[in-house]
């Protein structure tokens, strides 16, 4: 007869985030000893880590934190949405985020090498993934600095943690600047710009777009005299799609995002936008 109860199974699942059958098997092997069962779950999970290396990690969450003039954001991935909403996975993400803030890491490689409580973040992720029974990956990190930094996390499903995250920094500390930063962060989550300003768009990308616009206009039989104006007009439309300050503001399409900042007497310094798996 088993030396544990249904309550013991429930408690161990809450502590580890492991599946019911894995918990029951571990308790059986540990003769009901919860601490020994946790050790068994971890060891078996680590043994299976190699088998999980090739698995896809398309689920996960975005987490962000702003401290003073610095905002930090991470994307951490897992295999299934079931684990993505698991409290243990969310706790792990928060630990990784705290490490990202403390380390000053600007990329995932530096973050994974950072040591927390005697072990690297990379080892922590592997161990927690072993208990959860899935491959877990810290995919990317962003750091944004400015006089004011706004963060916005968006849930695409009420049952899951945030799947989209934005950090946006401006160069002024006023209340108006903070409001504009927040509003544009929300806009950025929805409209997914690629660049902050036109100057940030690679020159070769602009030239490719100009060439395509010119060739298209000629194929459409547009008059030679009007080509320059047509091409520049289409290039402007291209910028309005991918450049943040050129986009029509989501809350008021009659004004551009650049105008929103102008009215708040501030300028955007930098932004980062993550979407899980994108």
CA-to-CA distance for 89 and 179, rounded, in angstroms? 32
Tell me: do 42 and 65 sit in the same domain: no
Counting the structural domains of the chain, the total is 2
Q: What is the CA radius of gyration of the chain?
A: 24
Residue 70 maps to which CATH number? 3.30.479.20
Tell me: do 129 and 92 sit in the same domain: yes
160 within a domain of the structure (yes/no):
no
172 within a domain of the structure (yes/no):
no
State which of 85, 112, 145 marks the end of a domain. 145
Encode the chain (278 residues) as per-residue pLDDT tens digits: 467 788 888 787 777 666 677 778 878 888 788 888 877 776 665 444 455 455 667 899 999 999 999 999 999 999 999 999 999 999 999 999 999 999 999 999 999 999 998 999 999 998 888 888 888 999 999 999 999 999 999 999 999 999 999 999 999 999 999 999 999 999 999 999 999 999 999 999 999 999 999 998 889 888 888 888 998 999 999 999 999 999 999 999 999 999 999 999 999 999 999 999 98
CA 230 to chain centre: 38
256 within a domain of the structure (yes/no):
no
Q: How far is CA 233 from CA 73, 209, 227, 262, in A?
A: 36, 12, 10, 23
Tell me: do 39 and 79 sit in the same domain: no
CA-to-CA distance for 24 and 93, rounded, in angstroms? 26
Handedness of CA 35, 123, 127, 59 (dihedral sign): positive
Phi, then psi, of 66 in degrees rounded to 5: -115, 125
pTM of the model: 0.79
For residue 121, give its domain range. 59-145
266 within a domain of the structure (yes/no):
no
CA 141 to chain centre: 8
């Amino acid at each position: 007869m088993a030396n544990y109860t249904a309550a013991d199974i429930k408690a161990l699942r809450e502590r580890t985030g492991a599946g019911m059958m894995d918990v029951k098997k571990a308790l059986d092997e540990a003769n009901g000893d919860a601490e020994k069962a946790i050790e068994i779950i971890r060891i078996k999970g680590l043994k299976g880590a190699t088998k999980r290396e090739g698995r896809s990690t398309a689920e996960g969450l975005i987490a962000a934190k702003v401290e003073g003039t610095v905002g930090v954001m991470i994307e951490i991935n897992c295999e299934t949405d079931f684990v993505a909403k698991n409290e243990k996975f969310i706790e792990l993400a928060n630990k990784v985020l705290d490490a990202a803030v403390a380390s000053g890491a600007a990329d995932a490689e530096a973050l994974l090498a950072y040591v927390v409580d005697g072990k690297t973040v990379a080892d922590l992720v592997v161990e927690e993934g072993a208990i959860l029974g899935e491959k877990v990956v810290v995919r990317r990190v962003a750091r944004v600095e400015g006089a004011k930094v706004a963060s916005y996390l968006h849930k695409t499903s009420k049952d899951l943690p945030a799947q989209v995250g934005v950090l946006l920094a401006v160069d002024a500390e006023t209340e108006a600047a903070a409001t504009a930063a927040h509003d544009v962060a929300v806009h950025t989550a929805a409209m997914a710009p690629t660049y902050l300003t036109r100057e940030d768009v690679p020159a070769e990308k602009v030239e490719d777009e100009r060439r395509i616009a010119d060739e298209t206009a000629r194929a459409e039989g547009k008059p030679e005299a009007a080509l320059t104006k047509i091409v520049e007009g289409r290039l402007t439309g291209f910028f309005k799609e991918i450049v943040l300050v050129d986009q029509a503001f989501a809350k008021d399409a009659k004004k551009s995002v650049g105008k929103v900042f102008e009215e708040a007497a501030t300028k955007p310094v930098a932004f980062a936008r993550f979407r899980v798996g994108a």
